[in-house]
Amino acid sequence: MGNSKRADLAARIRRRDFFIAPGVYDMVSARVADAMGFTALYMTGYGVTASYLGMPDIGLASYRDMVGRAGQIAANSETPLIADADTGYGGLLNVRQTIRGYEAAGVAGLHIEDQVDPKRCGHTPGKKVVPTKDMVRKLEVAVDSRESDDFIIIARTDARAPLGLDEACRRAEAYAKAGADVLFVEALDGEEEMELVGRRFDHPLLINITGGLTPVLPSEQLREMGYTIAIYPGAAFGAAALAVKGVYESLKKDGSTLDCPVPRMAGMDMHEMMGFPEVWAFESKWAEDEPGSEDEAAE
């Protein structure tokens, strides 16, 4: 992703021009989404932890795990990438490393949250948050550490569940003053809370649409509520897991995929999506003589 695309995305966010970002978690999902013409992609921490480690999203993925996957997706996508960066992976030095690492990897922006370590998935029980002043300090370090002002820093608060909506909003206000470009109040419980947060802030807002505590609403309604970004982290990996399950169940039951009811991408379509035509064109252009060719025989 070039700097111009990062700048274009940052300008759009500052204008509060609403857009949606699909959740991607590996290079197959990223390849599919990248061809769709979305404004941005969103690298989901839940999806990466599940697909890469096969574990729940409870802080088990390290900075190296996540920045590596983020860099891989960013390098192989034309669409700007916004990425989950959990708590910044530690103290203030870790936050600085996270900002510098994600930015150098080609990511367009990230969010860090105010949970204690080890963090938990935002829509699961048992979350705890750090003091507001500690998160404010992290955000100040994050803003100071980025090379470009177009690298978007999103401040997420998980205080809604343990401390209530009013405290979550007070924290978000403090995070805006600390320099966050976008505010993200996680795990809003119902449409009324979504409307309240949208009205309360004169700042770009991100909403996480999961279909759990936070209901799925039409994009136009989210725009009217005051949101700038709507992310859909689990839509693709939830569908993918169910499809894979269906294929394997059919294979186990029937001993083949002849009557498998699950739709699948045709082989040549998959080859094209993954870039085989470019490889074949390269090989055709630079084809080498086979061993035992006429030149070698003459020697």
Catalytic residue positions? Answer: 42, 57, 84, 86, 111, 113, 121, 156, 186, 208
Residue from 67, 145, 48, 138 nearest 107 by CA: 67
CA–CA separation, 90 vs 269, rounded Å? Answer: 43
What is the widest separation between alpha-carbon atoms in the chain? 85
In the DSSP assignment, the letter for residue 158 is -
DSSP helix/strand/coil, 212: coil
Cβ-Cβ contacts under 8 Å for 234 (sequence gap 6 or more):
23, 44, 46, 47, 210, 211
Using CB atoms within 10 A of its CB, is residue 38 exposed (0-12), middle (13-18) or buried (19+)?
middle
Q: Which helix (H) or strand (E) holds 255?
A: none
Structure tokens at 8: 């274009």
Element (H, E) at 156: strand 152-157
**Residue listed under structure tokens 């401390």:** 163
